[in-house]
Structure 1
Amino acid sequence: MDIVRSVLYIVLLVTAGVAGASLRGTWEPGAARRPPVATMATFAVVAVFSLLQLTVAPGLFEALRRDRAAIADGQVWRLVTSVVVQDGGWPGTISNLVALAVLGTLAERLWGTGRWLGIALAVQVLGGLWGLVAQPVGAGTSLVDFGLGASLAAAAVLLGTEPRSRGPAAVSLACAVALLVLGDIHGGAAVAGAAVAGAAAGAALAIRRRERA
């Protein structure tokens, strides 16, 4: 089962990236030239805390991780702080940061900084709440990575005009649903990201139609 989940992880993220890259034509004018501020800031904060956790301050993991018992005791902030520490060691940290850099940049080019932050916060909290059932103790940036990736896939399905964007997007979303059915925490984050982004993309589509009318 671990192999199946690993394959689903890789396929979901890669196809989401492909779908997101194909949406370049829908970016706002000048988006490609603007620095992805939210992505860069989040990357820096996660990198610093993760480096400290994995080297000189291992206690950060226990202090900031998602922990169902602690959250039930009132430490609700753990749903957010768990994003900056990692439960996958160095391999998990590196892969999470690479995914954040790639998918985060594509998502910020598409959604803009404000909506990027909204989607990231939503998937972190909603994915974390699902994690209280699926994985009561844990941490990592992967919830944001999967949520942003699924947001790109949802946008490609709704806003994409070419099969090369909609095909990979459909595969990515299918993987998200499969992970959710398997009770995987990343499936919850991905489905949440797709739902939030779907609403945003639907609103953008409605505006386009009104402008053409």
Structure 2
Amino acid sequence: DGSLRDGLALVQQYEAPDLQAKARSVIPLELLRERAAANPSPLPHAADELCKQLLRWFKHDLFSWVNAPPCDFCGSAETKLVGGGVPNAEERSHQAGRVELYSCRLCGASSRFPRYNDPGRLLETRRGRCGEWANAFGLCCRALGFEARWVRDWTDHVWCEVFSDGQRKWVHVDPCEAAYDAPLMYEAGWGKKLTYVIAFARDHLVDVTPRYSRKMSEVLARRALCSEGYLTRTIAAANSS
């Protein structure tokens, strides 16, 4: 129940006008429109092509992937994880639930890597792993008027979905991979043994696992957190509240 509430709370942040304005100030909308118009083989629907260009820009021009962050003091990439720390007041103000601590192999200095959940702050830091990427990208989608969902895979990945008016369906979008409408990539490509895949929108949540699996009988056999009936009732209760 707590994980479902947390997911809804996260995506409801995207509705804040100031956060959407902040995202629009970062997104080069005219450039994305030009790229969409110049694509010799665009998607059939203009809004879908714009979304795809947003996805590519986000991955290649805006965000950076972090395994181990560079040293805050000398800039060296030679850092190693030495443990976890407690978020300070500033980090907590941007919804950092935990902080990773790194030591520089060259200068010996310590660096902090707060795992922020504030999408506005993420538009400033522009770095992280799949959680940060999907969170910030979800805000960017909403800022451009797309209906968006933040999708959590309980086997440790996060991505988004965007509703395509032209196709009349929710479309998988993974900013970490710049992947558009490739929902089977995790099971068939990465070999993931999926369990629960839940999508969170501003006004609903839904179990979307069947979209991402062609082996649902195997998936159901692995789902052990609760009964299927309890999950269905819990989602229904969250959607009616």
Between structures 1 and 2, the one with greater strand share: 2
Greater length-normalized contact order (CA 8 Å, ≥ 6 residues apart): 1
